[in-house]
Amino acid sequence: MNAKQHYDEWPSAVAAMKDAAPDVARAFGGMFQKLMSPGALSVREKELIALAIGMAVRCESCIFAHLEKAVASGATREQILEMTGVVVMMQGGPGYVHVPVIVEGLAELERRKNAE
């Protein structure tokens, strides 16, 4: 799935999942809210960590979701691209092949912001 498809389709996919499995959605949502709220780490730092893990486990939906949240929480393009370097350093080739996914996602988010 490319970035445009993800950002176009993800909201309806999440809504369908919430309808199909409301207990799972509520449990996950509660955990997400608690763990991703500000604490010793800022929301931006937590989203950069989640984004790095998404790259490391090769989860494109995770990458696109946490990329959007990282940008919304104030992460800059430079910080995000520097984070990709850390993933590549730790993971090598499997991390490197996901850098274009990040670049594509950033471009789509920038396009959407400019279209507002």
Token pair listed for 112? 């959407």
pLDDT in tens, 56-87: 999 999 999 999 999 999 999 999 999 999 99
Contacting residues for 9 by C-beta, under 8 A, at least 6 apart:
1
Q: What is the pLDDT of residue 94?
A: 86
Domains of the chain: 3-115 (1.20.1290.10)
Q: From CA 53, how far away is CA 56, in angstroms rounded?
A: 5
Q: What is the pLDDT of residue 85?
A: 95
Instruction: Choose among 78, 85, 80: nearest CA to 66.
Output: 80
Q: What is the pLDDT of residue 43?
A: 99
Q: From CA 15, how far away is CA 92, in angstroms rounded?
A: 36
Whether this model's pTM surpasses 0.85: yes
Q: From CA 28, how far away is CA 34, in angstroms rounded?
A: 10
Centre a 10 Å sphere on the Cβ of residue 107 and count the other Cβ atoms it contains: 13
Q: What is the pLDDT of residue 80?
A: 98
Q: What is the pLDDT of residue 1?
A: 80
